Structure 1
Amino acid sequence: MKRRTVPEIKMIDYGQEHLRRQGFVAMPLMASMQKDPQRSAPHLHDFYQVTLLGGHGRLMHDFREATFSGPILFFVSPGQVHTAYPDPGAEATVVSFTREFFNAHTGDAGLLAELPFYYTSSTPPWLPLEAEETTIARDLFREIQQEFDAAEPGAAEILQALLRILFIRAGRWYRRAHPVGRATRASRLVRDFHLLVEHHFHDWQTLEPYAHQLGVTTNHLNDVVREETGRAAGEHIRQRRLLDAKRLLLHSDLSVSEIGYRLGFNDPSYFSRFFRRYAETTPADFRNEIREKYQSSGD
């Protein structure tokens, strides 16, 4: 088996097994790092997380970094390379859940896709909280932790409801911090396009299948995306492929050619030219630089 520079971590073995099997775990962040030290270094996983952090520390998230001071929510989508470095004395609770758990027993399976802080590239995946927001968030996280720890009958349904309440409120706070104006037909089209890109960028590398799925022409899709975001629709697809290339260069031992093939490039030299054009460095140089940075960042 090839060694992974940054591991893909499964949902941690904590709490009642029947809730973990359904796709949910809540626990103190420091306890998770003590139980599995890999979590204190950059890693990724195939489920969602939301963490409430207090105190001071640093966050790393898909090649973005930030320091935090005071209460902050930190959102992680599946596949994103990330970690948190809380300073001594910092407190944090991390909630992990799968899409299937979040959508179970609800009449609306679309809320998760509409949240502004998951799968975001133009705005940060963290949210500093005001005093009133902090009180509400701490109460919700406390109730989530208590419900998870007790694991009484009906706990899964209550946890799903608490998560939805948390995210509806967090969505309000996030939109106040990052106003985007009233939702329009154009903004909804762009959001739907971004979600399609997230799920199909490996296979759909031209605009035609996206436009077909969205029920619009390629010209209309490109015009609307450019008007709403300032970038052509094809540029969003290319940037998403570039992000996956960076992730693979960081956390896998695949060769540059193998990474190119995995991303749908039939010619390794074309992949290298693509990467150099948009990352302004070669894949090999990027791999060396980012590994050195990430491996030394936790020291």
Structure 2
Amino acid sequence: MIKTETLADFYEIKLNQVPDGHQEPGHFNVFRTEDCVGQGKQPVQYSRRDFYKISLMRGRHLYHYADKSLEVNGCSLLFFNPRVPYTFEQISETATGYFCIFKEDFFATHIRGHLTDLPMYQPGGKPAFVLNAQQDDHVSAIFNKMLDEIGSDYRFKYDLIRNYTLELLHYALKMEPSNSLYEHTDANSRLTAVFTELLERQFPLDSPAQQFKLRSAKDFANQLAVHVNHLNRAIKTTTGKTTTEHIMERLAAEARALLKHTDWNISEISYSLGFEEPAHFNHFFKKTARTTPSAFRAMESA
């Protein structure tokens, strides 16, 4: 399974130490790219992160974003979010630039709506913006202001940094995103792996109050920022089964585990698995296990 990279993982990989404040809901930090990539540094792994990242990258790189790839040669401004796994390959010998990382709570109550409402963070949105020399200078100046403030003792420095980050977002929104995203040769297997990781991440269900939320191919397609038809084709091509078959098989396996290993009643199990009524769960379970939930539990406990 593809492991989600946490902030602690990031700091351990890049800096060999984890700062005390990394668990704060509104965590923010900013870096120069050349301090974090290159010789002696661990390569960036293809995975989902639990934080947002905005990067200004110079040089030649190949980015893998969800099931798409993007070759960048020059200067680009890129926006990555927790919903979509990514990595990049450095092709040129040198790479310079900047990047900042932050949790969504960094903007709590400070912006209208949510970050996911912005075009670059919506399903199917394009995360890359190619910059000319003048635009590079402008964006670099914003990142340098962030670097100056992050190291200062100014009491309200994070208010300033928040404004600088918003300036980056709005500067990009006034530009045209790059249209050069293309499907990678192993896009089907890559997308299938991400789907499987997202499906498994919902389990195990630890209490009757916890509920299985992503129940349809469309739910998963929205989370993975791809069209549902594309997701279905990729999974069918890779595994020979439909997206729905995978979801239902995993749901049935969890139902059997809950009936066998918990003392939850049928209604509680039904709710936790996302069924509106216990009768719907009974019908589903009987169709997949050829017996009722109550009979299965009695048989397993005999």
Name the TM tier (shorter chain).
Answer: 0.5 to 0.7
Match of 1:147 in 2: 149
1:126 is matched with which residue? 128
Q: Secondary structure at the match of 1:40?
A: coil
**Distance (Å, rounded) in 1 between the aligned partners of 2:28 and 2:100:** 7
Aligned partner of 1:264 in structure 2 is 215
Counterpart check, 1:49 vs 2:53: yes
When residues 23 and 275 of structure 1 are mapped into structure 2, their CA distance, relative to the original with a 3 A threshold, is same
Contact 1:27–1:145, Cα closer than 8 Å, also in 2: yes
Structure-2 change in CA distance of 1:153 and 1:280 (3 Å): closer
Partner of 1:9: 5
**In 1, distance between residues paired with 2:165 and 2:22?**
14
Contact 1:52 1:74 survives alignment (8 Å): yes
Determine which structure has the larger helix proportion and give its number.
Answer: 1
8 Å contact kept, 1:275–1:282: no
Supply the AA of the counterpart residue of 1:79: R
Per-residue deviation, 1:116: 1.7
Indicate the residue corresponding to 2:31 in structure 1.
27
Give distance in 1, aligned partners of 2:235 and 2:165.
40
User: Of 113, 118, 123, which residue of structure 2 is paired with 1:115?
Assistant: 118
* Alignment counterpart, residue 158 of structure 2, candidates 149, 156, 159: 156
Is 2:98 the partner of 1:93?
yes
Structure 1 CA distance for aligned equivalents of residues 200 and 37 of structure 2: 27
Give me the whole-angstrom Cα distance separating, in 2, the residues matched to 1:61 and 1:151: 37
- Deviation (angstroms), 1:117: 1.0
**Partners of 1:20 and 1:27 in 2: how far apart?**
18
> Of 239, 257, 263, which aligns to 1:284?
239
- Contact 1:61 1:83 (8 Å CA) reproduced: yes
- Cα gap change, 1:25 to 1:58, in 2 (>3 Å): same
- TM-score by length of structure 1 reads 0.56
Taking the aligned partners of 1:252 and 1:36, their CA distance within structure 2 comes to 28
RMSD of aligned alpha carbons: 3.8
2:102 partner amino acid: F
User: Helix, strand or coil for the counterpart of 1:168?
Assistant: helix
Evaluate the alpha carbon distance shift between residue 174 and residue 23 of structure 1 in structure 2; reply closer, same or farther with a 3 A threshold.
farther
2:86 is aligned to 82
Contact 1:23 / 1:97 at 8 angstroms: preserved in 2? yes
Q: Secondary structure of 2:239's match?
A: helix
What is the CA-CA distance between 1:137 and the residue it aligns to? Answer: 0.6
**How far 1:276 sits from its partner (Å)?**
8.4
Question: How far apart are 1:247 and its partner, in Å?
Answer: 1.2
Identity, in percent, stands at 15
Measure, in 2, the Cα distance between the counterparts of 1:161 and 1:113.
18
Aligned residues: 202
CA drift of 1:62 comes to 0.1
**Map of 1:216 onto structure 2:** none
Query: What SS does structure 1 have at the residue aligned with 2:119?
Result: coil
Unaligned runs of 5+ in 2: 180-189, 205-211, 218-228, 242-302
Classify 1:148/1:124 alpha carbon distance in 2 versus 1 (closer, same or farther; 3 Å): same
8 Å CA contact retained: 2:191, 2:231? no
Separation of aligned partners in 1, 2:157 and 2:173: 24
3-state SS, counterpart of residue 164 of structure 1:
helix
Partner amino acid for 2:215? Answer: G
